[in-house]
Amino acid sequence: MPAYPRRGRDSLRSPTSTRNAARPPRANQRIPVRLALWLGRNRRLAAALLLCAAAAITVNQLTPAPLSTVTALAAARDLPAGTALTASDLASVQVPPGMVAEGFLQDTAAAAGKQLAAPVRGGQLITDAQLLGPGLLTGTPPGSAAVPLRMADPSSIQLVSPGQLVNVVLTSANGFDQQGPSEVLAAAVPVLWTSNKGGQSGQWLGTAETDGLIVVAANAEQSSRLAGASTQGRLFFVLVGPQ
Protein backbone atom coordinates (compact mmCIF):
# COMPACT_ATOMS: atom_id res chain seq x y z
CA MET A 1 0.00 0.00 0.00
CA PRO A 2 1.28 3.40 -0.77
CA ALA A 3 2.56 5.34 2.17
CA TYR A 4 0.75 8.54 2.98
CA PRO A 5 2.45 11.33 4.83
CA ARG A 6 1.42 11.63 8.46
CA ARG A 7 -0.62 14.67 9.17
CA GLY A 8 0.24 16.73 12.21
CA ARG A 9 -2.17 18.66 14.41
CA ASP A 10 -1.61 21.81 12.45
CA SER A 11 -2.62 20.06 9.27
CA LEU A 12 -5.98 19.12 10.86
CA ARG A 13 -7.02 22.76 11.46
CA SER A 14 -9.63 24.11 9.12
CA PRO A 15 -8.91 27.03 6.88
CA THR A 16 -11.47 29.07 8.86
CA SER A 17 -9.67 28.56 12.16
CA THR A 18 -6.41 29.49 10.49
CA ARG A 19 -7.88 32.75 9.26
CA ASN A 20 -9.27 33.53 12.75
CA ALA A 21 -5.89 32.96 14.35
CA ALA A 22 -4.21 35.29 11.93
CA ARG A 23 -6.85 38.08 12.32
CA PRO A 24 -5.57 40.98 14.53
CA PRO A 25 -7.59 41.96 17.60
CA ARG A 26 -10.37 44.51 17.06
CA ALA A 27 -10.04 48.15 18.14
CA ASN A 28 -12.38 47.77 21.13
CA GLN A 29 -10.37 44.80 22.25
CA ARG A 30 -7.15 46.81 22.16
CA ILE A 31 -8.52 49.55 24.50
CA PRO A 32 -8.31 47.50 27.74
CA VAL A 33 -4.78 46.52 26.82
CA ARG A 34 -3.76 50.13 26.27
CA LEU A 35 -5.51 51.19 29.47
CA ALA A 36 -3.68 48.53 31.42
CA LEU A 37 -0.37 49.63 29.95
CA TRP A 38 -1.14 53.30 30.71
CA LEU A 39 -2.13 52.51 34.32
CA GLY A 40 1.04 50.51 34.73
CA ARG A 41 3.14 53.49 33.66
CA ASN A 42 1.09 56.16 35.55
CA ARG A 43 0.05 54.54 38.78
CA ARG A 44 0.56 57.64 40.91
CA LEU A 45 -1.40 59.85 38.54
CA ALA A 46 -4.23 57.32 38.40
CA ALA A 47 -4.34 57.10 42.19
CA ALA A 48 -4.46 60.91 42.45
CA LEU A 49 -7.33 61.09 39.96
CA LEU A 50 -9.29 58.49 41.88
CA LEU A 51 -8.76 60.37 45.16
CA CYS A 52 -9.95 63.62 43.57
CA ALA A 53 -13.04 61.91 42.23
CA ALA A 54 -13.81 60.40 45.63
CA ALA A 55 -13.36 63.79 47.32
CA ALA A 56 -15.67 65.47 44.80
CA ILE A 57 -18.37 62.86 45.38
CA THR A 58 -18.04 63.26 49.16
CA VAL A 59 -18.32 67.06 49.00
CA ASN A 60 -21.34 66.83 46.72
CA GLN A 61 -23.07 64.46 49.12
CA LEU A 62 -22.33 66.62 52.18
CA THR A 63 -23.25 69.97 50.61
CA PRO A 64 -26.90 70.79 51.46
CA ALA A 65 -29.22 71.70 48.66
CA PRO A 66 -29.77 75.47 48.29
CA LEU A 67 -32.80 76.74 50.18
CA SER A 68 -35.59 78.56 48.39
CA THR A 69 -35.90 82.23 49.31
CA VAL A 70 -38.36 85.08 48.94
CA THR A 71 -37.88 88.84 48.77
CA ALA A 72 -38.61 91.02 51.81
CA LEU A 73 -37.93 94.65 52.67
CA ALA A 74 -35.56 95.63 55.46
CA ALA A 75 -34.37 98.97 56.76
CA ALA A 76 -31.26 100.06 54.87
CA ARG A 77 -30.02 101.80 58.05
CA ASP A 78 -31.27 102.86 61.47
CA LEU A 79 -34.50 104.81 60.94
CA PRO A 80 -36.21 106.98 63.55
CA ALA A 81 -39.94 106.92 64.23
CA GLY A 82 -41.89 109.20 61.95
CA THR A 83 -39.66 108.57 58.92
CA ALA A 84 -41.58 108.77 55.65
CA LEU A 85 -40.09 105.81 53.82
CA THR A 86 -38.34 106.23 50.47
CA ALA A 87 -36.64 103.73 48.20
CA SER A 88 -33.25 104.67 49.68
CA ASP A 89 -34.49 103.76 53.19
CA LEU A 90 -35.32 100.21 52.13
CA ALA A 91 -33.24 97.25 51.02
CA SER A 92 -34.50 94.10 49.32
CA VAL A 93 -33.19 90.97 51.04
CA GLN A 94 -33.61 87.27 50.32
CA VAL A 95 -34.89 85.27 53.28
CA PRO A 96 -36.36 81.78 53.80
CA PRO A 97 -40.12 81.71 53.20
CA GLY A 98 -40.75 80.78 56.83
CA MET A 99 -39.38 84.16 57.98
CA VAL A 100 -41.95 86.15 56.01
CA ALA A 101 -45.38 86.12 57.63
CA GLU A 102 -48.49 88.09 56.77
CA GLY A 103 -47.88 91.82 57.00
CA PHE A 104 -44.21 91.85 56.03
CA LEU A 105 -43.45 94.44 53.35
CA GLN A 106 -42.23 93.05 50.03
CA ASP A 107 -42.97 95.80 47.48
CA THR A 108 -40.85 98.95 47.57
CA ALA A 109 -43.38 100.98 45.57
CA ALA A 110 -46.20 100.09 47.98
CA ALA A 111 -44.07 100.98 51.03
CA ALA A 112 -42.84 104.34 49.69
CA GLY A 113 -44.39 107.29 51.54
CA LYS A 114 -45.57 105.23 54.53
CA GLN A 115 -44.59 106.64 57.93
CA LEU A 116 -42.84 104.66 60.65
CA ALA A 117 -44.66 104.55 63.97
CA ALA A 118 -41.58 103.33 65.85
CA PRO A 119 -37.82 103.31 65.23
CA VAL A 120 -36.28 100.35 63.41
CA ARG A 121 -32.72 99.08 63.25
CA GLY A 122 -30.74 98.74 60.05
CA GLY A 123 -31.34 95.29 58.56
CA GLN A 124 -34.60 94.78 60.47
CA LEU A 125 -37.47 93.44 58.36
CA ILE A 126 -40.36 95.89 58.21
CA THR A 127 -44.02 94.99 58.73
CA ASP A 128 -47.25 96.94 58.48
CA ALA A 129 -47.42 96.90 62.29
CA GLN A 130 -44.52 99.37 62.32
CA LEU A 131 -46.31 101.87 60.06
CA LEU A 132 -48.96 104.43 60.76
CA GLY A 133 -52.25 103.02 59.60
CA PRO A 134 -54.48 100.00 60.25
CA GLY A 135 -51.44 97.80 60.75
CA LEU A 136 -50.83 99.50 64.11
CA LEU A 137 -53.78 97.55 65.49
CA THR A 138 -52.17 94.19 64.68
CA GLY A 139 -52.58 91.87 67.67
CA THR A 140 -55.18 93.99 69.46
CA PRO A 141 -58.55 92.45 70.41
CA PRO A 142 -61.22 92.38 67.69
CA GLY A 143 -63.19 95.61 67.54
CA SER A 144 -60.28 97.79 68.71
CA ALA A 145 -59.90 101.26 67.25
CA ALA A 146 -56.97 103.65 66.97
CA VAL A 147 -58.03 106.86 68.72
CA PRO A 148 -56.00 110.10 68.42
CA LEU A 149 -55.93 112.28 71.54
CA ARG A 150 -54.50 115.74 72.11
CA MET A 151 -52.87 116.07 75.51
CA ALA A 152 -53.22 119.29 77.51
CA ASP A 153 -49.47 119.32 78.17
CA PRO A 154 -47.62 118.69 74.89
CA SER A 155 -44.25 118.38 76.68
CA SER A 156 -45.52 115.32 78.56
CA ILE A 157 -45.46 113.38 75.28
CA GLN A 158 -41.71 113.01 75.75
CA LEU A 159 -42.38 110.60 78.63
CA VAL A 160 -44.32 108.04 76.63
CA SER A 161 -43.38 105.68 73.81
CA PRO A 162 -45.35 103.29 71.60
CA GLY A 163 -46.26 100.19 73.58
CA GLN A 164 -46.55 102.00 76.92
CA LEU A 165 -49.82 101.51 78.82
CA VAL A 166 -51.56 104.65 80.03
CA ASN A 167 -54.71 105.77 81.81
CA VAL A 168 -56.39 108.61 79.94
CA VAL A 169 -57.72 111.18 82.43
CA LEU A 170 -60.17 114.02 81.76
CA THR A 171 -60.31 117.01 84.09
CA SER A 172 -62.30 120.24 83.90
CA ALA A 173 -59.80 122.15 86.05
CA ASN A 174 -57.85 124.84 84.27
CA GLY A 175 -54.82 124.43 86.53
CA PHE A 176 -55.22 127.79 88.24
CA ASP A 177 -58.24 128.91 90.27
CA GLN A 178 -60.83 126.63 88.71
CA GLN A 179 -61.04 123.17 90.22
CA GLY A 180 -62.98 120.21 88.91
CA PRO A 181 -63.24 116.46 89.25
CA SER A 182 -61.02 114.14 87.24
CA GLU A 183 -62.35 111.11 85.45
CA VAL A 184 -60.52 108.11 83.99
CA LEU A 185 -61.95 107.70 80.52
CA ALA A 186 -59.86 104.66 79.55
CA ALA A 187 -57.63 102.48 81.72
CA ALA A 188 -54.44 100.69 80.64
CA VAL A 189 -54.75 101.42 76.93
CA PRO A 190 -51.61 100.89 74.82
CA VAL A 191 -50.01 103.82 73.06
CA LEU A 192 -49.64 103.22 69.33
CA TRP A 193 -47.95 106.44 68.24
CA THR A 194 -46.88 109.82 69.60
CA SER A 195 -46.03 113.08 67.84
CA ASN A 196 -42.82 113.26 69.88
CA LYS A 197 -41.42 110.12 68.19
CA GLY A 198 -40.70 111.79 64.89
CA GLY A 199 -44.30 112.60 64.07
CA GLN A 200 -44.47 114.59 60.83
CA SER A 201 -47.28 116.38 59.07
CA GLY A 202 -49.89 113.76 59.76
CA GLN A 203 -50.01 111.54 56.66
CA TRP A 204 -52.19 109.16 58.64
CA LEU A 205 -54.05 111.64 60.85
CA GLY A 206 -54.99 113.92 57.99
CA THR A 207 -53.85 117.16 59.65
CA ALA A 208 -50.73 119.26 59.53
CA GLU A 209 -50.87 119.91 63.28
CA THR A 210 -49.68 116.96 65.39
CA ASP A 211 -48.21 118.75 68.42
CA GLY A 212 -49.29 117.02 71.63
CA LEU A 213 -51.02 114.13 69.89
CA ILE A 214 -50.90 110.49 70.87
CA VAL A 215 -52.78 107.55 69.38
CA VAL A 216 -54.08 104.80 71.65
CA ALA A 217 -55.81 101.49 70.98
CA ALA A 218 -59.24 101.38 72.61
CA ASN A 219 -62.21 99.03 72.64
CA ALA A 220 -65.67 100.14 71.50
CA GLU A 221 -66.77 101.46 74.92
CA GLN A 222 -63.52 103.34 75.53
CA SER A 223 -63.59 104.76 72.01
CA SER A 224 -67.04 106.28 72.54
CA ARG A 225 -65.86 107.94 75.75
CA LEU A 226 -62.62 109.22 74.26
CA ALA A 227 -64.16 110.60 71.06
CA GLY A 228 -64.28 114.38 71.38
CA ALA A 229 -63.09 114.25 74.98
CA SER A 230 -60.63 117.08 74.39
CA THR A 231 -63.59 119.44 73.83
CA GLN A 232 -64.99 118.60 77.28
CA GLY A 233 -61.91 119.46 79.28
CA ARG A 234 -58.20 118.83 79.50
CA LEU A 235 -56.72 115.46 78.78
CA PHE A 236 -53.76 113.94 80.58
CA PHE A 237 -52.27 110.48 80.76
CA VAL A 238 -50.89 108.45 83.62
CA LEU A 239 -48.26 105.79 82.97
CA VAL A 240 -49.26 102.36 84.28
CA GLY A 241 -47.68 98.92 84.26
CA PRO A 242 -48.95 95.70 82.68
CA GLN A 243 -52.19 94.47 84.16
Task: Write down the pLDDT at residue 35.
Answer: 64
The pLDDT tens digits of the residues spanning 1-52 come to 555 555 555 544 545 544 555 555 555 555 566 666 666 666 777 777 777 7
Residue 216, in any domain of the structure: yes
Q: Which residues are within 8 A (CB) of 171 and not within 5 positions of it... i.e. 6 or more apart?
A: 180, 181, 182, 183, 233, 234, 236
The pLDDT tens digits of the residues spanning 111-163 come to 888 888 888 899 999 998 888 888 888 888 888 999 999 998 888 888 888 88
Are residues 114 and 187 located together in one domain of the fold?
A: no
Task: Tell me the pairing of strands 145-150 and 165-171.
Answer: unpaired
Are residues 221 and 168 located together in one domain of the fold?
A: yes
Q: Which domain holds residue 229?
A: 139-240
Of 82, 114, 131, the last residue of a domain is: 131
pTM for this model (two decimals): 0.58
Of 131, 164, 182, the last residue of a domain is: 131
